[in-house]
Copies of this chain bind each other. A is one copy, B any other.
């Protein structure tokens, strides 16, 4: 449709690259933006990888998403955030989010597996210096932990903003990978007496524990309802 007068909608998928096409189980890979966003939005921590003195470092950290951009924050003294501020044109990172959905117990040791969903993002991380973008990013980080929470808390003041470093990573080179379904045993193993199947893992909030100093009458908000 390029060059036509029709309005263009954004592509629904990321373009695969050498880094985002897996060498193993390529049928489990997806570049669908909606799937990638859903996996990212469900996670609590990402694992952020960067290279320091030639060797890899992988740290767990909070993150937030605004459209096609991820934000990671931390103290201005934190290593990757300091490195991103000094890197030109940006710090090469790999950001990975994984959900383990179930344990797949096959009759054979070899076919044991996990049901999981993961997203791997490659790219350059940039220090966020614009105050407005920083505020937007911090709201996204709080809302990522509990949707709706940013509006129900005291926003960061100037001193807190100054103490917080934020880096951005655009979603360009991205892939999702997942395994779903049941056990894939060899036909000759089906008569073995071992139990086989999938053990789902529990997800979600448990009963909230209020702070001892809450004002009397402060109710647990609806957004923390335990299903």
Contacts and interface: CB of A to CB of B under 8 A. Distances in A.
Interface in A67-112: 74-75, 77-79, 92-96, 98, 100, 103, 105-110, 112
B201 A219 contact: no
A153 interface: yes
Name the residue in A44, A49, A149 with the highest tally of chain B Cβ atoms < 10 Å from its Cβ: A49
Interface string A40-67: 0000110111110011111110100000
For chain A, the bracket of interface size reads 35 or more
10 A-B pairs closest in CB distance: A49-B56, A49-B58, A47-B47, A60-B98, A202-B202, A200-B206, A197-B210, A55-B92, A49-B49, A110-B160
Interface of A: 19, 23-24, 44-45, 47-51, 54-60, 62, 74-75, 77-79, 92-96, 98, 100, 103, 105-110, 112, 114, 116, 118, 120, 122, 138-139, 141-142, 145-146, 149-150, 152-157, 160, 164, 182-183, 185, 189-215, 218-221, 224
